[in-house]
Amino acid sequence: MKQTRFFTQKCFFGRVLFYNKIIFLVFCVSAFSIFSTSAQDLSTYYDSAQSYKNKDLEKQSFFTKKLLSESQKQKNKEYLLKAYHLTATIFYEKANKDSAFFYIDKALDLAEIMKNNETKIEVLRLKGFIYKNRVYNKDSALLFFQKALQESKRLDYKYGKIKNLEAISFLLMDKGNYLDATQLLLEAREIAHEIKDKKALSSIANNIGHTYLQMYMYEKALPFFNEANRHREDKTTASIIPLNIAECYYRTGNTKKALLILDKNTPLALKTSLNMAIEYHLEYVNLFLEIEEPQKALEKIKILDSLLIDSKPQAYRNLLLLKAKTHLQLKDTLKAHNYVKEVEKKISIESNDDFINRMTMHELFSYTYMFLKDYKKANYHSQKYISIYKATYNKELQQNIYESEVNQRMLLQEKENELQKLKYLTEIEKEQQNRKYFLIGLVSLLIIFIVITRAYWINKKYSIELKNTNHKLSESQSEVIQQNHILHEQSEELMRQSEELKCSHEEVLAMNDNLEDVVKQRNQEVLEKNKMLEEYAFINAHKLRAPVARLLGIMQIIELSKDTSEIEFYLQICNKEIKDLDRIIWAIKEAIEEKTPLDRWELEKRKEMK
């Protein structure tokens, strides 16, 4: 009974342990699924925010806010850094410089903690663009672009080098320093060729073409724009490059081709981004003014007014000047004069180096003041226009200097590339020659070593063979003596075996006499054992199997049940069945120990006694 109680307790605690393991596994799976789901949500928010980049600022802002809040809750630093960067970019697009700076500082701090230098470089470049396009402090912008470039060079981050060289070149172009801007772009192009980055090559070729465009060298600009068009991969470059090509055509008098290019690429530009849509509509206005169709220009101006262009100061100043030109063509000089006056206010407040718009403003003022018969002011603005024009665009001289310098620098860069290539080939050839001499020497040493080793082993082989021959002769002599001894022993063994055969023959004769009695006795034993096996099979199938089957059924019910009282009821039944099984096992054990026949009826009696 003590053994039965111990067995029951062991089963109960085993079952409890089994359930504890199941609960632990369920907890682990749940925790893992929650963690993986959370990480998957963050990835989904980030991908969604990226998919709306340059398409729908509000939707991008919505998913970025989700990403920011979730990454803060989960304390996921990787996605939190991405969220800070995206949020800063969105505030930059919305011209909210204070909020943009706030998230940029957070991103820089987190990037410093995580040692994520590539993101740090991208954030520094973004900060430079905010100073350039929102604060209008180009010196501070240059400082951050240079800092990002230094970090890129320190880490040998080639993509960062390209982007920051381009950014610095934009600043130099804004200041009219096209030669140094081109030098930086050529340096960036060399890196892009090295890493075979088609997107970067397209952007750089486009920017080099833009420097020619700013120098009024439209025919020189066109090959670079065509090169950029060949390498283009994303939607932004697919829209801006045709825009520049169209400008080259209309500036050289081919307005029809320019209009065809704009009409072909406008649908894609409108889908790309708001900035791109503004640029295309501004180009349309320029074209319509060039072919003297002010009504069509006015329609595009209305579209630009609906695009909230006043939130983009540079584009807004361009639009005001285009409005003035349009109204001049419509003979509404007074309205044109008011637009130019508005430009004068904007330039004086917001920009110190917007010399192109300043020059256009003075040109238009000279026309409008002449119409208003204020000849003094008309003359003043005319002189201003001429002085800025002379200081900024001594076209032929500047173009010749620029073209010769650029050609010299490109030629110098090509020669440097050729020298580097020649140096590289020479080093490879020298290395191959050294390798060749090394291999010849190594092969010679190997041949000498093989010859010496072979001679040594041949000599050693002959000496070993001679020793072996002498040893074999001495062994053969001893073998002859040993074989004589063996023959003597074998003769004695044969005598002994003949005696054994006689004894075994006598035993066989005796066994033949008793064989029939032995067979009968063995048959009787086999029959008794077969009967015991049948009884055991019956007991196993009916007496032992029945309680086990009931226990298995009850355990399945317990596994499906959730009610504690019901589980306790079934556990009591299990206890009863286990006790029944224990009585059967003890009855079988006693029958075996007493060596009595295993009979089912006798078993029942023993079980009842227990």
pLDDT score recorded for residue 604: 65
What is the C-alpha to C-alpha distance for residues 24 and 19, in angstroms, rounded to an integer? 9
Confidence band, pLDDT 50/70/90 cuts, at residue 602: low
Predicted confidence (pLDDT) at residue 207 exceeds the cutoff of 80: yes
pLDDT score recorded for residue 8: 44
CB 57 within 8 A of CB 274: yes
Confidence band, pLDDT 50/70/90 cuts, at residue 437: confident
Percent of the chain with pLDDT over 70: 80
CB 598 within 8 A of CB 591: yes
Helix axes 355-371, 333-350, angle to 10 degrees: 150
**End-to-end Cα separation, the chain, in angstroms:** 9
DSSP 94: T
DSSP 541: I
Q: How does pLDDT run across 490-539, given as a tens digit for each residue?
A: 778 878 877 877 887 777 776 766 766 777 777 777 777 777 777 777 77
pLDDT score recorded for residue 179: 77
Residue type, 324: A
Predicted confidence (pLDDT) at residue 30 exceeds the cutoff of 60: no
pLDDT score recorded for residue 297: 87
Confidence band, pLDDT 50/70/90 cuts, at residue 433: confident
CB 169 within 8 A of CB 207: yes
Q: How does pLDDT run across 267-294, given as a tens digit for each residue?
A: 888 777 777 888 888 888 888 888 888 8
CB 371 within 8 A of CB 333: yes
Residue found under tokens 């120990």: 593
pLDDT score recorded for residue 87: 92
CB 188 within 8 A of CB 199: no
Give the list of residues 6+ apart from residue 439 with CB closer than 8 angstroms, or none.
none
Confidence band, pLDDT 50/70/90 cuts, at residue 36: very low
Task: Supply the pTM of this predicted model.
Answer: 0.53
Q: How does pLDDT run across 183-200, given as a tens digit for each residue?
A: 888 888 888 888 888 888
What is the C-alpha to C-alpha distance for residues 351 and 354, in angstroms, rounded to an integer? 6
Q: In 3D, which of 391, 399, 345, 385 has the Cα closest to residue 175?
A: 391
CB 205 within 8 A of CB 224: yes
pLDDT score recorded for residue 2: 39
What phi-psi label fits residue 156: left (phi over 0), alpha (psi between -120 and 50 degrees) or beta? Answer: left
Predicted confidence (pLDDT) at residue 27 exceeds the cutoff of 60: no
DSSP 252: T
**Which helix (H) or strand (E) element contains residue 185?**
helix 178-195
Q: How far from 492 is each of 482, 485, 504, CA to CA, in Å? A: 16, 11, 19
What is the C-alpha to C-alpha distance for residues 29 and 458, in angstroms, rounded to an integer? 72
Which range is most confident: 53-57, 197-201, 237-241, 422-426? 197-201
Q: How does pLDDT run across 166-176, given as a tens digit for each residue?
A: 889 888 887 77
pLDDT score recorded for residue 310: 58
Angle at 27 between CA 21 and CA 29, to 5 degrees: 105
pLDDT score recorded for residue 438: 86
Residue type, 500: E
Higher pLDDT, 81 or 587: 81
Mean pLDDT for 37-41 is 61
What is the C-alpha to C-alpha distance for residues 397 and 425, in angstroms, rounded to an integer? 41
SS3 content of the chain, % helix, strand, coil (to 5): 90, 0, 10
Q: How many CA atoms lie within 13 A of 481 on its CB side?
A: 4
* Mean predicted lDDT score pLDDT of the chain: 78
What is the C-alpha to C-alpha distance for residues 24 and 500, in angstroms, rounded to an integer? 74
pLDDT score recorded for residue 6: 41
What is the C-alpha to C-alpha distance for residues 128 and 140, in angstroms, rounded to an integer? 7
Higher pLDDT, 409 or 222: 222
Percent of the chain with pLDDT over 90: 4
CB 193 within 8 A of CB 211: no
Predicted confidence (pLDDT) at residue 142 exceeds the cutoff of 50: yes
DSSP 307: T
Q: How does pLDDT run across 326-381, given as a tens digit for each residue?
A: 888 888 888 888 888 888 887 754 444 566 777 888 888 888 888 888 888 888 88
pLDDT score recorded for residue 392: 58
Higher pLDDT, 499 or 2: 499
Confidence band, pLDDT 50/70/90 cuts, at residue 11: very low
Predicted confidence (pLDDT) at residue 12 exceeds the cutoff of 60: no
Predicted confidence (pLDDT) at residue 9 exceeds the cutoff of 70: no
Mean pLDDT for 376-397 is 72
Residue found under tokens 């003590």: 2
